[in-house]
Amino acid sequence: MTFFKIVVFTIITIQIGLAQSIDTQKLDEYFNMLEDHDKFMGSIAILKDGNIVYKKQVGYSDINSKQKPDKNTQYRIGSISKIFTATLLFKAVEDGKIALDETIGKYFPKIENAGKITISNLLNHRSGIHSFTDDKEAFLSYHTQPKTEKEMLEIIANGGSDFKPGEQAAYSNSNYVLLSFILETLYKKPYAKILEDEITKPLNLTNTFFGSKIQIDNNECYAYRFDKQWKKTEETDPSIDMGAGGIVSTPTDLIRFAEALFNNKILLLENVEKMQTIQDKFGMGFFKIEYYDKISYGHNGEIDGFISALRYFPNENVAFAITSNGANYSLNLIAVTIVNGLFNKHFDIPDFRVYEPKYKELNQYLGVYSSDTFPVKLTVIKSGNQLHLQAPGDSVMNLQATAKGEFKYEPAGITIMFDIEKNQMHISQGGKTNVLDKE
């Protein structure tokens, strides 16, 4: 571990649990900065101790009409849908309609190894069934057109098997499409109606439903990708991804759903625990995601330019959800920032300024900097128009100029300001600033 990573880790560890309230003003500043620089459009919600303590919407739900999102604007959530589908399957188990160790042979006899693949194998991605979305070129040739169950089963069956059931694990959207069809057989009604009857209506999740053609007049939003400007994307027909990725929701509904699920308002405790059981990195509808000493369960989603994330922390009874219809920035970085805000840890407001210093301008910053209160000496060197920073034993860090005399190194969260008149370097990381003198 490098020196600067150690510094960040130490600061984070020290700050755990010190404060109780969330700095909503700073979170607003963070998301406003992303919006202002075309980095993110979407909606965020945070739940703490049963209460929604933060909501934020940025960007546009429809760029052409300049329509802004509100707290009820609905987004396609992609693979977060799998949590709902897994929950529905476990409800069917509790209702005595199916068993986890039952094979899928009677449902899909044309699927390779159907007589050996169990419901559990589908839930935790141990079936070996090839994911139809991995065949990118073929998928993109039909994804906007509706497909019947027969047509989807033919596509999945033709994909064959990647390994024998139960021998290993590999993420497959095919698994959850098949689970959707099984649910329709068990309940004798469409997936959309099952979702409504078993989850959304009992929990009063009024903005969560199985999707169809995007209806902007119904407060849904279009999705966009950024290529010099936001460009609208095509829509995958929900008949193709079914319960693997076809649900529409809001962050508020998502965290309410997660809270209900983990507090056994939908399923029995033993079944929620089964969903959380991780084997080869996969649970049954869940992934386990760790942040520092905190453990969460959830899923990410990505479809047609929509991206999303849902996290629930059982030990703390807190949750957050991100739904986005346009992202030109790392979803993981956004999620980590929310976690830091949720647990009262330091996070930086990103600096998207770009400055191109002249070759000679960099000469005034070169040298060795040190301080009695800073544990290492830092050397500043240059190569062409690129400034570099190095601590003893560390690799060279390429600094990015943001303004005259100001630089950053994003991987370690470092910002640097040079005071030429005083021959000093101000280096900030993890909310702490040190002043070093030039030797």
Co-location of 76 and 219 in the same domain: yes
- Note whether 117 and 187 are same-domain residues: yes
Planar angle of CA 206, 331, 334, nearest 5 degrees = 90
User: Where a domain ends, among 342, 370, 394?
Assistant: 342
Whether the pLDDT of residue 11 is over 50: the answer is: no
**Cα–Cα dist 277/161, whole Å:** 24
Judgement on whether residues 368 and 332 belong to the same structural domain of the protein: no
Question: Does residue 6 sit within a domain?
Answer: no
Q: Which of 342, 368, 391 is the last residue of a domain?
A: 342
Closest to 49 in 3D by CA, of 328, 242, 263:
263
The values of phi and psi at residue 49, to 5°, are 55, 40
pLDDT band at 160 (very low <50, low <70, confident <90, very high): very high
CATH code assigned at 227: 3.40.710.10
As a whole number, the mean pLDDT across the chain is 93
Q: What is the pLDDT averaged over residues 392-409?
A: 92
In-domain check, residue 10: no
Look up the domain containing 258 and give its range.
Answer: 26-342
CATH code for the domain in which residue 371 is found: 2.40.128.50
Q: How confident is the model at residue 1 (pLDDT cuts 50, 70, 90)?
A: very low
Tokens of 37: 């620089």
Is the predicted pLDDT of residue 25 greater than 80, yes or no? Answer: yes
Whether residue 185 has pLDDT greater than 70: yes
pLDDT in tens, 345-393: 889 999 998 899 988 999 999 999 999 999 999 999 999 889 999 999 8
Please report the DSSP string for 301-325 in residue order. Answer: EEETTEEEEEEEETTTTEEEEEEEE
Number of domain units in the chain: 2
Q: Is 296 found in the same domain as 211?
A: yes
Tell me: do 291 and 424 sit in the same domain.
no
> Are both 284 and 367 inside the same structural domain?
no
Convert 358-381 to b/e letters by CB count within 10 Å (16 or more is b): eeeebeebeeebbbeebebebbbe
CA 16/CA 25 separation, integer angstroms: 20
Q: Which of 287, 310, 342 is the last residue of a domain?
A: 342
348 falls within a domain: no
Tell me: do 312 and 388 sit in the same domain.
no
User: Where is pLDDT greater, at 14 or 420?
Assistant: 420
Lowest mean pLDDT: which of 114-123, 185-194, 224-233, 345-354?
A: 345-354
Which of 409, 87, 383, 401 minimizes the C-alpha distance to 257? 87
Q: What average pLDDT score do residues 250-265 get?
A: 98
Q: Confirm whether 11 is domain-assigned.
A: no
State whether 242 and 384 are in the same domain. no
* Residue 73 resides in a domain: yes
Copy the structure tokens of residue 93. Answer: 């188990």
Mean predicted confidence (pLDDT) in 413-426: 95
pTM of the model: 0.88
Q: At 190, is the secondary structure helix, strand, or coil?
A: coil
What percent of the chain clears pLDDT 70, i.e. is strictly above it?
95
Q: Are residues 299 and 424 in the same domain?
A: no
**pLDDT of the residue at 2:** 56
Q: Based on the domain organization, do 335 and 369 belong to the same domain?
A: no
